[in-house]
Amino acid sequence: MNIDIPLIWAGVIAFGIFMYVVMDGFDLGIGILFPFFKERDKRDLMMNSVAPIWDGNETWLVLGGAGLFAAFPLAYGVVLSALYLPLILMLLALIFRGVAFEFRFKSKRSRPVWDLSFIFGSLVATFFQGVVLGAYINGFPVENRAFAGGPFDWLAPFPLFCGVALVVGYAMLGCGWLIMKTEGELQDKMFKLMPPLTIALGACIAIVSLWTPLAHEAIASRWFDLPNLLYFSPVPILVLASLAALLRSVRLKKDNQPFLLTLALIFLAYTGLAISLWPNIIPPAISFTAASAPESSQKFALVGVVVMVPIILMYTVYGYFVFRGKMKLGEGYH
Amino acid sequence: MFGLDALELARAQFAFTVSFHIVFPAISIGLASYLAVLEGLWLKTGRDVYLNLYRFWLQIFAVAFGMGVVSGVVMSYQFGTNWAGLSNAAGSIMGPLLTYEVLTAFFLEAGFLGIMLFGMNKVGKGLHFFATLMVAIGTLISTFWILSSNSWMHTPQGYELVDGVFYPADWWAIVFNPSFPYRLAHMAMAAFVSVAFIVGATGAWHLLKGRRSAEVKTMFSMAMWMALLAAPTQAVIGDAHGLNTMEHQPAKIAAMEGHWDTERGVDLLLFGIPDMQAETTHYAIGIPRLASLILTHDLDGEIKGLKEWAPEDRPNSTIVFWSFRLMVGLGLLMVLTGLISAWLRLRGQLYDARLFHRMALIMGPSGLIAVLAGWVTTEVGRQPWVVYGLLRTADADSGHSATQVGTTFALFVIVYFLVFGVGITYLLRMMRKGPKLKAVEHQTDIEGGPGRARTPSRPLSGASESDDRADSDEGDRHEH
């Protein structure tokens, strides 16, 4: 049997982006939740809960970019050119977010500035990631191996809605993370915030699930033609089950379950999108096979992935293990 | 926009973002190795001076590294957003190299950075040293891959070109392309030299302020040793790199020398204003035959002039003539600094020669300026090609409108000057504040780390607490 290397690469990219969404998702979420707390010690605690790991989390975004460059250079060129403005805005926002980790503790007078930098950096980066996702789902016109649309194609209702939806999703990941990592007043507040966020995310998922098949015939037939309907029906059912379990875990004040169930929800939503778009890497018409780099490139880079990703995951887990456990309120610094 | 077309704006944008970026990795490559040496010395000797210096430079490293990361993420996306033509043509070759960089270097650095910055109380000395080593090695692995990719664009080999797309044929040949070993050695050494001069200037500043603690003296002494040894080594590597360029990119050499006609026994110009239109170098003042001697190691050696190439294939000599001279001039001053330091050390006056301390202070940014000048030389010198001799820069861009590229360029300029300007101010402020002078408790017996009692969770935070106050040297990072 031949090994389908482009397929493996599609899987690797999907995995890398998912890792990014989950991992940078919760630390961007913390930035989005910052405005809910005014007290400096709580803000310090929130930031410190991700300070040792945010950099590693963001590296998955770089892997997504580099992997796409290596395995599907056509997609890298077309998609990134098409999303020129939202991506640049996202990258600039990530600068404000990233340096806030370093600068915020540097100064007393300008601390409010870096608080704002952290909040708006996280919010804007997340929003434009959602916009990028929405525009990607909508697809790109391609002529002669180059993007053939306009610079503001992404400025449409669906991508903008996806921007808002992702803000809700990341806020929820951040909320779940803080429930897990904190206790007392901060955790209580997060428990209160979780149910409305859960309902909002459920609504967002529902709207995207209706909007995409209505707007794209191919997506409608992917989901609703028999026998696909049967194969894919577990996805929405599991979404509903996770939503219910999440609300229940919050009611029972569970520490870890809200975060894990949020992860499950994000995973299901991600799977749903993968089902909708398969096998295109440049929707609506260019498949990952058509956009593949030469086999030699994919093989060479894949060796690195196969050898390195398990090692990366090991020391990533180790890093999280070192900084495990609850953060204590008021015990940061003063 | 600004009288520039879309391509020029895209080039300016790339030059701007990469120039800002390279400063931070140059600092973090050099500092990470310095930190590994400091921590190693501390573990070996148990002397607090090394631990204090480690902690001091770790704070500076954290800020520089953070800025390197956020400005680097921009770079990894810019190939696609601004240079889709290049991605389409050469993505199959450059992409895997960048992927290896991410997999073998970025994750390694990021994975162990958290432990390096906050973990000393949590993992013990040995493991912490291991984390420092991993971060230091990560920065060097990163240098390896990105310079391999960059060098391949200068001296491409191991590919097949089919319908304007590069297909990899021999990965070994691609990675170890002809200019790579020289460029790698030159850049890694440049990072070490840059940091040596930053550390040296910091030490000199405190010596000038009359602070003569063991920490200040040790950092100054270590930096001056490094200047003495590394700066001349860098000159030798640079010479070898130049010869390699002479072999593979003679047009670049001709532009660097402001040299128009192919001749034997060429003068080395010390001054001149190369004029691309008039095809001559005005006001040339040179040393007879020295260019031939340096470049061919023969007083009568032949050097090709720019007129060998069609006007549209010539790099801009006006720029690279001067950027090259700036780099070499600074290099010579750095060698001189190292030599003077050795002479003063022999006479036992290293810590007392105020004039020399002033010189070391002024030389602080010289390494970084030389890095930038060197990159301008090599990158402007390869124009008009993006993949040398094969793909023109004009065919590599994404085809955005001038308005679009101009707008994002303006945003980058504003944000970079604002954010990184503040960052650089913080770096300078930390250097000015200096390592703390009193002995510290050994970290291992403190219960600390994020969320724990006593220890600030950012290494920067401790020092910063007192930053807004008077310029205190004694700020205790464990203050409450």
pLDDT in tens, B360-374: 999 999 999 999 999
CA distance B210 to chain A (A): 26
CA distance linking residue A51 with residue B458, whole number of Å: 8
Q: Smallest Cα–Cα separation from B264: which of B296, B308, B305, B303?
A: B303
Percentage of chain A exceeding pLDDT 70: 97
Element at B269 (helix H, strand E): strand B268-275
Burial of B446 (0-12, 13-18, 19+ CB in 10 A): middle
Angle at A283 between CA A76 and CA A303, to 5 degrees: 45
Angle at A29 between CA B18 and CA A76, to 5 degrees: 40
- Mind telling me how many Å the CA of B229 is from chain A's nearest CA? 33
Q: Could you tell me the CATH number of the domain that includes residue A271? A: 1.20.1630
Confidence of residue B331 (pLDDT cuts 50, 70, 90): very high
Q: Using alpha carbons, list the distances in angstroms from residue B455 to A320, A331, B98.
A: 19, 9, 37
The beta-strand segments (E) located in A51-203 are: 142-143, 146-147
**A72 vs chain B: nearest CA distance in angstroms?**
8
- Assigned domain for A1 exists: no
Task: Select from A50, A296, A309 the residue whose CB has the most chain B CBs within 10 Å, as the one to mutate to test that interface.
Answer: A296
3-state secondary structure A94-119: HHHHHHHHHHHHHCCCCHHHHHHHHH
Helix axes A111-138, A84-103, angle to 10 degrees: 150
B69 to A58: CB separation less than 8 angstroms, yes or no: yes
- CB of A245 within 8 Å of a chain B CB? The answer is no
B405 lies in a domain?
A: yes
| DSSP-based three-state secondary structure for A14 | helix
Distance, in Å, from the CA atom of B253 to the CA atom of B248, rounded to the nearest integer, reads 10
Determine the angle formed by the axes of helices A295-322 and B84-101, rounding to 10 degrees.
50
Helix/strand/coil for A86: helix
Given an 8 Å threshold on Cβ–Cβ distance, is B169 in contact with A304?
no
Tell me how close the Cα of B359 comes to any Cα of chain A, in angstroms: 30
Q: How far apart are CA A129 and CA B241, in angstroms?
A: 42
Task: Provide the domain limits for residue A288.
Answer: 8-322
* Closest chain A CA to residue B461: A105
List phi, psi (to 5°) of B453: -70, 155
- A116 pLDDT above the threshold of 70: yes
Among left, alpha and beta (phi > 0; psi -120 to 50; other), residue A144 is: left
- pLDDT over threshold 60, residue B26: yes
pLDDT recorded at residue B188: 95
DSSP secondary structure letter of residue B395 = G
Which of A71, A77, A102 lies nearest to residue B84, judging by beta carbons? A77
Nearest-angstrom CA–CA distance, A60 and A192: 31
The total of structural domains in chain B comes to 1
The token duo for B300 is: 């009568």
Q: Other C-beta atoms within 10 Å of B319: how many?
A: 18
Please report whether residue B471 resides in a domain.
Answer: no
Q: What pLDDT shows up at residue B117?
A: 86
Asked if the C-beta of B446 comes within 8 angstroms of chain A's C-beta atoms, the answer is no
Q: Which two tokens stand for residue A127?
A: 């929003």
Return all residues near A185 (Cβ < 8 A) that are at least 6 apart.
A42, A329
Mean pLDDT of B211-218: 89
- Taking alpha carbons only, the member of A238, A126, A125 closest to residue A173 is A126
Give the minimum alpha-carbon distance from A20 to chain B in angstroms, rounded to a whole number: 13
pLDDT of B457 strictly over 80: no
- How close B54 comes to chain A (CA, Å)? 18
**Rounded-to-integer distance, Cα B107 and Cα B185, Å:** 23
Nearest to A111 by CA among B76, B141, B461, B205: B461
A180–B contact, CB cutoff 8 A: no
How many angstroms separate the CA of residue B192 from the nearest CA in chain A?
24
Among residues A253, A244, A245, A249, which one has the least CA distance to residue A188?
A253
Residue A334 lies in a domain: no
Cβ-Cβ contacts under 8 Å, A293 against chain B:
91-92, 95-96
**CB burial class (10 A; 0-12, 13-18, 19+) of residue B445?**
exposed
Contacts of B171 in chain A (CB under 8 A): 296, 300
Least confident of A89-103, A127-141, A217-231, B356-370: A217-231
Residue A75 lies in a domain: yes
Closest CA to B367 of B12, B3, B16, B29: B29
Encode pLDDT of B140-197 as tens digits: 999 999 999 999 999 999 999 888 889 998 999 999 999 999 999 999 999 999 999 9
E strands, chain A, where?
142-143, 146-147, 280-282, 286-287
Predicted pLDDT of residue B185: 95
Which of A51, A107, A319 has the CB atom closest to B464's CB atom?
A107
List phi, psi (to 5°) of B385. Answer: -100, 145
Give the span between the Cα atoms of B47 and B439, in whole angstroms. Answer: 10
State the amino acid at position B74 in one-letter form: V
Q: Over the stretch B40-58, which tens digit does the pLDDT of each residue have?
A: 999 999 888 999 999 999 9
Q: How far is CA A82 from CA A148, B113, B117, B327, in A?
A: 8, 34, 39, 39
Mean pLDDT, rounded, of chain B: 85
C-alpha distances out from residue A286 to A69, A74, A88, B89, Å = 16, 10, 24, 18
Locate B430 and state its tokens.
């930390």
The CA distances from residue B264 to B166, B268, B284, B300, B304, in Å, are: 37, 12, 17, 5, 9
Within 8 A of A319 by CB-CB distance, chain B residues are 111-112, 114-115
Nearest to A269 by CA among A202, A217, A211, A220: A202
Q: Residues A130, A167: contact at Cβ < 8 Å?
A: yes
**What is the domain range of residue B103?**
6-247+318-465
CA A204 to chain centre: 15
Alpha-carbon gap, residue A220 to A123, rounded angstroms: 31
Residue B473 has pLDDT above 60, yes or no: no
Work out the minimum CA distance from A312 to partner chain B, whole angstroms. 7
B293 assigned to some structural domain? no
Judged by a CB distance cut-off of 8 A, whether residue A69 touches chain B is: yes
Calculate ∠ Cα A70-A75-A78, nearest 5°. Answer: 125
A232 occurs within a structural domain: yes
* Average pLDDT over every residue of B370-379: 94
Q: Tell me the average pLDDT of chain A.
A: 87
The answer to whether B439 contacts chain A (CB < 8 Å) is no
- The C-alpha atoms of residue B68 and residue B424 are separated, in whole angstroms, by 12
Distance between CA atoms of residues B127 and B9, nearest Å: 47
What is the rounded distance in angstroms from the CA atom of residue A214 to the CA atom of residue A241? Answer: 25
Interface confidence (ipTM) of the complex = 0.84
Find chain A residues with C-beta within 8 A of B91's C-beta. 69-70, 73-74, 76-77, 293
Q: Which of A73, A87, A105 sits opposite B87 (nearest CB)?
A: A73
In B385-404, the residues whose Cβ lies within 8 Å of chain A are 398-401, 404
**Does some domain include residue A59?**
yes
Q: Does A317 contact chain B (CB < 8 Å)? A: no
Q: How far apart are CA B449 and CA B122, in angstroms?
A: 7
Q: Give the other-Cβ count within 10 Å of B342's Cβ.
A: 16
Residue A2, in any domain of the structure: no
Cα angle: B184, vertex B190, B193; to 5 degrees: 145
Using a CB–CB cutoff of 8 Å, tell me whether B451 touches chain A.
Answer: yes
pLDDT for res B27: 94
Chain B environment of A88 (Cβ under 8 Å): 81, 408, 411-412
Answer yes or no: is B270 within a domain.
no
Question: Is the pLDDT assigned to residue B449 strictly greater than 60?
Answer: no
Q: What is the mean pLDDT of residues B95-120?
A: 88
What pLDDT does residue B2 have? 59
How many whole angstroms separate alpha carbon B397 and alpha carbon B138? 31
Cross-strand bridge partners of residue B160: B167
User: Minimal CA–CA distance to B33: which of B241, B193, B148?
Assistant: B193
Which tokens is B321 given? 């003539």
Q: Which pLDDT band holds residue B378 (cuts at 50, 70, 90)?
A: very high
**Single-letter amino acid code for the residue at B121:** N
Q: How many domains does chain A have?
A: 1
Residues 6+ apart with CB under 8 A from A244: none
Interface test with B, best of A50, A59, A155 (most B CBs within 10 A): A59
What's the pLDDT at B466?
37
Peptide bond into B459 cis (omega under 30): no
In the predicted structure, residue B307 carries a pLDDT above the cut 90: no
For residue A220 the two structure tokens come to 């409608």
Asked if residue A329 belongs to a domain, the reply is no
Residues A189-193 have a mean pLDDT of 91
CA distance B263 to chain A (A): 43
Higher pLDDT, A107 or A210: A210
Alpha-carbon distances, residue B99 vs A72, A298, B425 (angstroms): 12, 11, 33
Buried b (16+ CB within 10 A) or exposed e, A93-130: bbbbbbbbbbbbbbbeeebeebbebbbbbbbbbbbbbb
Residue type, A159: P
Q: For residue B437, what pLDDT is reported?
A: 57
Question: Alpha-carbon distance A74 to A143, whole Å?
Answer: 12
Q: What are residue A131's phi and psi, to 5 degrees?
A: -60, -45
- H or E stretch at B275: strand B268-275
Angle, nearest 10°, between helix axes A54-71 and B84-101?
A: 130
Chain B contact present for A116, CB below 8 A: no
Considering A105-109, B6-10, B463-467, the range whose residues carry the highest mean pLDDT is: B6-10
Q: Which residues does A252 contact at the CB level (< 8 Å), separation at least 6?
A: none
CA nearest neighbour of B270 among B281, B284, B289: B284
Measured between CB atoms, does A267 come within 8 Å of chain B?
Answer: no
3-state DSSP call for residue A195? helix
pLDDT digits (tens, 9 = 90+) for B225-282: 999 999 999 999 998 998 889 889 888 988 888 888 888 888 888 888 888 888 888 8
Question: Is residue A278 situated within a structural domain?
Answer: yes
B101 contacts chain A (CB < 8 A): yes
